[in-house]
Amino acid sequence: MVENIQQIAQEIEAAPLTNPAELEQFRIAYIGRKGRIAALFDNLKQVAPELRREVGQHLNSLKNRAQERFDQAQEQLASAADQNADTGFDFSLPTVPNTLGTRHPLSLVRQEIVRIFERIGFNVAEGPEMEDDWHNFSALNFPENHPAREMQDTFFLSENKEKLLRTHTSTVQVRLMENNQPPLRSIMPGRVYRNEAISARAHMVFHQVEGLYVNKGVSFKDLKETLYYFAKEMFGQDTQIRFRPSFFPFTEPSAEIDITCFICKGEGCNICKGSGWVEIGGSGMVDPAVLHSSGIDPEVYSGFAFGMGIERITMLRYQIKDLRLFTENDVRFLRQFEGVI
């Protein structure tokens, strides 16, 4: 038995382990369950009892040495494979440039909207995207359990519904009126959230721009002239605008804003569904209750407000038919706007 152990020990030390095939043969011959070392352990019971302890120690040493030799060879082969893989790369090859897009179309349109309104005295006001019930609903004439709240599916952030993601940028109007006294003339561009199914025409995250003008003697005529100016600057001087009666809790009277279709110039096409008009937003005179709740005397001051979806304006201006393109970050889509100023 001892002679066999010594012979196998010599074979283990001399065994070539230079490739995966030789390593596998070594494992089967010496380490595997049916290998030669395992056979020696099976024959240990035939050794005389007084020698069994000593022979067993030699067998354990043989087994450990075989495993050690196997592990070392396996590590060396793996390291060599990694080195070969690294050296296989040609570092002299030219670099692959990063594929870049350009300014996002929503950013382009937002900047243009800001520039247009700045020219007639509007500044930019911003507010938090995480809001409370008061600024998002109650202060805007949306009392609790009012049916108008059903128009806006809301992401609430707490069980008591006191914290939420704003559903419109009208919240900034409230904060502006609470913290400042008239005259007020601002636009409020920003991101808003509504729990809606994502499709080519709707998204759970989108952008709005709203406007507010509060001063003594502000009338619906001022609202109309402001929006006439905006429509002509944004869509062209031949653009016409019309107002259709509507309902919004925070304005009275209220009106939807339509412009002549820029494709067919009012003749009727598939874009405007044959009507010659496309809707761009809503507007109206600020409800006296909203002025009062924000600390402004409605007997002294009046004001108008309007709101538009930036995605809607962008889709109309650049004839984009799928709203999802704005959030997919496809460079091929973004590079189409390289020449836009």
Binding positions for Mg(2+) are 252
- Which residues touch 9 (CB under 8 Å, ≥6 apart)? 62, 65
Query: For strand 205-215 and strand 302-309, is the pairing parallel, antiparallel, or unpaired?
Result: antiparallel
Range 238-241 contact pairs with CB under 8 angstroms and sequence separation of 24 or more: 238/265, 240/266
- How many residues does this entry show for the chain? 341
C-alpha 242/C-alpha 251 separation (Å) is: 18
Query: For strand 130-132 and strand 277-286, is the pairing parallel, antiparallel, or unpaired?
Result: unpaired
Kindly provide the b/e burial profile for residues 162-182, where b requires at least 16 CB atoms within 10 angstroms of the residue's own CB: eebbbbbbbbbbbbbbeeeeb
Let me know: does 222 contact 285? Beta carbons within 8 Å.
no
DSSP secondary structure letter of residue 109? H
CB-based burial of residue 205 (10 Å sphere; 0-12 exposed, 13-18 middle, 19+ buried)?
A: middle
CB-based burial of residue 109 (10 Å sphere; 0-12 exposed, 13-18 middle, 19+ buried)?
A: buried
Q: What is the CA radius of gyration of the chain?
A: 38
- Which residues touch 223 (CB under 8 Å, ≥6 apart)? 213, 283, 284, 285, 304, 306
- Which residues touch 90 (CB under 8 Å, ≥6 apart)? none
* CA-wise closest residue to 189 among 135, 115, 244, 134: 115
- Name the residue type at position 164: L
Annotated binding site: 252
- What the block records as the tokens of 102 is 């350009």
